[in-house]
Structure 1
């Protein structure tokens, strides 16, 4: 019977895979987004800064920043879920960007003004197939049960890590 990997090795592998995913979305760095990982569960964090305010009179977070935060959280969650098995088996490519889903549609519901403070988001994959996926994501600030925005997105999934792609129109040989 194989001996389990040390917990620190598993944590480092998961943290490195998450960092590679987030690095593949440069806008996440522009927003200052971070992700908290607990096992396979991710929570996105958008740290407050004055540049995120859209209406200084209220003040309220800019709707575009809120939408980008939600969409990025959804994309990272989808990619994380798709890569989980390959990552756990140590089969991720050693270098380069990891494959990310591409947005088809993304609809945001602004439920109340985002306040000038840190925001959090969690995405839930509603359906994921080989080619398409649907995700619901909610953002909150002080109380998770009181979201200030939510969104639903549909995404085109990339090929799973480690799979090759056939050229369009290619057929398997009969030989």
Structure 2
């Protein structure tokens, strides 16, 4: 499967997740790398005085970024192949206030076993070298021989 045919499938996967759709998350693919994009909307503001993105929105964005990366790498970009990874534990480090602009995310799988993967994700806005938040999480992978309802 070529890289060009992977993108529509991973984007379909993101749009199939109601919360990701509500948040306004999309996928930008360049070759074999994916970047998640959180499109700004007024409903994402948590502190209207600053204004700043809600911390829960940033956390959900990083979790979705990690899940998208795992789904992309382990399903070959095919939506639903192997099922979505399930978070076991996720730690978010909030580094800066999220401004009311588009936010970008990338994740790297740092360790992968047969059933569990460890992922590091970062979110940034104008400058990738200045992330607004980072996440470290463990995710349960669905084995190919497991029934879909597990």
Q: Same fold (TM over 0.5)?
A: yes
The residue number in structure 2 matching 1:82 is: 74
Q: Is the 8 A contact 1:131 1:157 kept in 2?
A: yes
How many residue pairs get aligned? The number is 146
Task: Report the alpha carbon displacement of residue 20 of structure 1 after superposing the two structures with TM.
Answer: 3.3
Per mean C-alpha deviation after superposition, the further-off stretch among 23-32 and 100-109 is 23-32
The residue number in structure 2 matching 1:155 is: 139
Summarize the alignment of residues 38-77 of structure 1 with structure 2, pairs less than 5 Å apart: 38-77=30-69
Structure having the larger proportion of residues in strand:
2
Structure 1: stretches of 5+ with no match in the other structure: 1-8, 167-175
Instruction: Choose the corresponding residue for 1:133, options 108, 117, 127.
Output: 117
**Partner SS state of residue 142, structure 1:** coil
Bigger Cα Rg: 1
The residue number in structure 1 matching 2:8 is: 16
CA distance in 2, matches of 1:128, 1:21: 21
CA RMSD in angstroms, aligned pairs only: 1.8
Task: Report the alpha carbon displacement of residue 10 of structure 1 after superposing the two structures with TM.
Answer: 3.1
**Partner SS state of residue 133, structure 1:** strand
Task: Report the alpha carbon displacement of residue 165 of structure 1 after superposing the two structures with TM.
Answer: 2.9
**Partner SS state of residue 44, structure 1:** strand
**Partner SS state of residue 37, structure 2:** strand
Structure 2: stretches of 5+ with no match in the other structure: none
The TM-score, its normalising length taken from structure 2, stands at: 0.90
1:103-145: per-residue Cα shift (whole Å, max 9, x none)? 0001100001001111000001101111000000000000000
CA distance in 1, matches of 2:145, 2:92: 34
